[in-house]
Amino acid sequence: MTCHLRGQMLKLVPLADYTSWRIGGPAETLYKPSDLADLQTFIRHHLASDEPLLWLGLGSNTLIRDGGVKGTTIITQGSLKQLLFLDPKTIRAEAGVSSAQLARFAARNGFGGSEFLAGIPGTIGGALAMNAGCYGHETWEGVVAVETIDRFGEIHVRTPAEFKVSYRHVVMPPGEWFVAGHFQWPESVLPEQALAAIRSLLVRRAATQPTGDYSCGSVFRNPPENYAARLIEACSLKGFRMGGALVSPKHANFIINDGTATAKDIEALIKHCASQVLQQQKVSLQQEVHIYGDP
């Protein structure tokens, strides 16, 4: 039995190049599979059963601490990139496909209701894992099935009923990770209309969010009946800085790396914003961003 790898394995690679904050210490081992079959080979023959495993797509919604991460980091962007029709109504998108790619693909083929995905700055793997959303819509609205991979390299096809899905949170079987999603949107529209809706959404996003800066997307979840950005702004924190990290003057739920920030700066500013909102507004903010690694 052959276990030849076709992907790229690297040691002690800084993860700053793989996160949207452009921050992060080294990965002990980094693997870029060539495709899903190669990923299966890697997991089956080159990964210890108890080895820590981190998955990164575009690296948004993620803070890698300055000390880096132990174990193996798998990069899905540029690797798990298949995007195709399973049947006339169902689109299959692998985990490394960007949410914006899926939005445009669906729009060009006349699927309405998927346009909001263009506003999510990440990949399908991450969108599935956290039920990412924007402008009143969420990823799992269109999910009819998902594919996961386990520690033995086996692929499982699962239905939404097998997951507990809520606002920015998905509970899934332990020891499994998303490798693809199957999507359907029942609304039929003219491709020109759907593509125009995407363009309008992106113009709106650029006008209200710091899309040209290094950020992770939204830092905190919106509390019930409220907005994290409004609460942070009410504490006069817009533009507040710690080292090279600052609260975006454009949108208070974004923290910006000015190019000199460390993960320590970012994490300290996240904690400061949360503590000030709790102290001044009596609201406990929940982080949307996930933090990994050693200080």
Residues identified as active-site: 168, 218, 288
Mapping DSSP to helix (H, G, I), strand (E, B) and coil, where does residue 214 land?
A: strand
E runs forming strands in 159-284: 164-166, 169-171, 176-183, 187-188, 241-242, 245-247, 255-257
Report the distance separating Cα 270 and Cα 208, nearest Å.
20
Report the distance separating Cα 126 and Cα 131, nearest Å.
8
DSSP state of 142: G
Tokens of 198: 């995407």
Spatial neighbors of 223 by CB under 8 A, at least 6 apart, are 231, 283, 284, 285, 286
Do residues 6 and 38 lie in contact, with contact meaning Cβ atoms separated by under 8 Å? Answer: yes
Instruction: Measure CA 211 to chain center.
Output: 15
The 8 Å CB, 24+ separation contacts for 96-100 are: 96/57, 96/123, 96/124, 96/125, 97/123, 97/124, 98/57, 98/58, 98/122, 98/123, 98/124, 99/123, 99/124, 99/127, 99/132, 99/139
What are the two backbone dihedrals, phi and then psi, of residue 251, each rounded to the nearest 5 degrees? -150, 115
Do residues 118 and 100 lie in contact, with contact meaning Cβ atoms separated by under 8 Å? Answer: yes
DSSP state of 209: S
Do residues 160 and 83 lie in contact, with contact meaning Cβ atoms separated by under 8 Å? Answer: no
Q: 259 — alpha (psi -120 to 50), left (phi > 0) or beta?
A: left
